[in-house]
Structure 1
Amino acid sequence: MPRWKALPEDLDPQIREFTSQLRRLVDRSGLNINAVADRTGYSKTSWERYLNGRLLAPRGAVVALAEVTGTPQHHLTTMWELAERAWSRAEMRHDMTMEAIRITQARAALGELGATAPDAPAGGRSGGGHPRAGAGSAVPAAGGGP
């Protein structure tokens, strides 16, 4: 059975390379995850996330790993900086995708409100309706106000 799980398919190549380098350092050190956690001050769970590509290791964890494994910090932190930029770009893409989904859902909800039947209850809501945007907010009725 392999020591490491396969990295996520959609992982940015820069992050993949950095994560693979962290794995190589741990392998070469001969330490298990518990020992890495004990010696770096970062939890076993955190190291599992870092080494499986689910979370980018913070700079402090990378520096601690370099110290524990006798690796020059400069090279590892340079790789971390590149991976961190890639991680930020990936988060930005995710945020933009989520925002686009929310906009699409809002437009769909507004489109449904604009197409309410003439005998719909006051407030433009029919049947189950849509949740309110926030406490005290109201959705104007289709066709205008008072």
Structure 2
Amino acid sequence: MPRWKALPQELDPQVKEFAGHVRRLIDRSGLGLAAVADRTGYSKTSWERYLNGRLLPPKGAVVALAEVTGTHLAHLTTLWELAERAWSRAEMRHDMTMEAIRISQARAALAETGATATATPATTAATATTAARGGRAD
């Protein structure tokens, strides 16, 4: 049985490259995850998440791993920085997708109640402001 699970297909290539590099470092060190956890101060569960692509490690964990494995810190942190940027872009895309889903659901709910679903957030806010001031919201 292989030591590592396959990384998720949807993972950004830079994150995959970083996770693969960290896996190879740990393999070459001969340390198990429990030993890596003990020596870095980050839990075994956290390392499992980092190494399986479910979570990007904090920079402190990367620095600690470099010390434990005797790895050149600059190279490892450069790979981490690239992965971190890719991870942030992926989170931003996810947030925008979730927002689009929420808007779609809100429009569908408005359509079910017979209200117009074409209102934009700006017109909705303007209408709410006018109504709050005691004016008519046409």
Q: CA offset at residue 114 of structure 1?
A: 1.1
The residue that corresponds to 1:136 in the other structure is none
TM-score normalised by length of structure 2? 0.83
Q: CA offset at residue 76 of structure 1?
A: 0.3
Rg larger in structure: 1
Query: RMSD over aligned Cα, in angstroms?
Result: 1.3
TM-score normalised by length of structure 1? 0.78
Q: Distance in 2 between matches of 1:16 and 1:101?
A: 28
Q: Does 1:111 align with 2:138?
A: no
Alpha-carbon deviations, 1:41-70, whole Å to 9, x = none?
000000000000000011000000000000
Q: Distance in 1 between matches of 2:54 and 2:28?
A: 22
Alpha-carbon deviations, 1:50-95, whole Å to 9, x = none?
0000000110000000000000110000000000000000000000
Q: Distance in 2 between matches of 1:110 and 1:92?
A: 27
Moved over 6 A (4+): none
Aligned pairs, number: 117
Q: 5+ residue gaps in structure 1?
A: 116-144
The residue that corresponds to 1:37 in the other structure is 37
Identity %: 81
Q: Does 1:78 align with 2:78?
A: yes
Q: SS in structure 1 opposite 2:57?
A: coil
Q: 5+ residue gaps in structure 2?
A: 116-136
